[in-house]
């Protein structure tokens, strides 16, 4: 398996992220390809790590399969060659998954997170119980717009 840094598939590209490329299949499905690109602090390095995408996809699929009886997930378990030609399917084998499209939603506002982390007055009423938490168990994570990414 060679290092996969770039994808250029016949499907329409929805988004190219730091590590994952997302392609449109139809109204209900999309293809997520986890590449071998390496990123840190919104910088994408010019060299990737061989098989990184395959390892990340394998670990994610393992846990999605193990927990699907608890919470249904977005995996379709469709073979890649059902939407790609054989050459493309082979190129992303082990790195690509066909998933159901879902709607993304934000469960917290940025201001609530700020109040929570800084312990400021004005913390929303339904978050008051967290004010005295001995250990904060979450970290803030945000997606950086593609236009703000750099390549080294």
User: How far, CA to CA in Å, does 95 sit from each of 30, 39, 43, 69, 132?
Assistant: 14, 17, 21, 24, 42
DSSP conformational letter for 18: S
Residue linked to tokens 């770039």? 6
Q: State if pTM tops 0.85.
A: no
- Rounded CA gap, 48 and 19, in Å? 10
Q: Which of 17-21, 43-47, 87-91 has the lowest mean pLDDT?
A: 43-47
Specify the pairing of strand 29-34 against strand 20-24: antiparallel
pLDDT at 39: 87
Whether residue 53 contacts residue 19, with contact meaning beta carbons closer than 8 Å, is answered with yes
pLDDT at 115: 54
DSSP conformational letter for 24: E
pLDDT at 142: 53
Q: Which fold has domain 13-100?
A: Phosphorylase Kinase; domain 1 (3.30.200)
Q: Where are the domains of the chain?
A: 13-100, 107-140
Residue linked to tokens 């997606």? 143
- Average pLDDT rounded to a whole number, residues 140-146: 53
């Amino acid at each position: 398996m060679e290092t996969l840094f770039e994808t250029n598939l016949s499907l329409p590209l929805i988004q190219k992220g730091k590590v994952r490329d997302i392609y449109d299949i139809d109204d209900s499905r999309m293809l997520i390809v986890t590449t071998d690109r390496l990123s840190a602090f919104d910088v994408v390095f010019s060299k990737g790590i061989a098989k990184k995408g395959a390892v990340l996809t394998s670990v994610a699929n393992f846990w999605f399969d193990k927990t699907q009886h608890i919470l249904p997930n977005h995996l379709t378990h469709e073979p890649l060659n059902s939407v790609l030609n054989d050459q493309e399917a082979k190129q992303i084998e082990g790195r690509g998954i066909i998933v159901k499209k879902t709607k993304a939603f934000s469960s917290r506002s940025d201001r609530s997170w700020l109040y929570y982390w800084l312990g400021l007055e004005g913390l929303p009423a339904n978050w008051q119980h967290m004010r005295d938490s001995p250990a904060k168990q979450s970290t803030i994570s945000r997606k950086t717009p593609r236009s703000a990414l750099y390549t080294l």
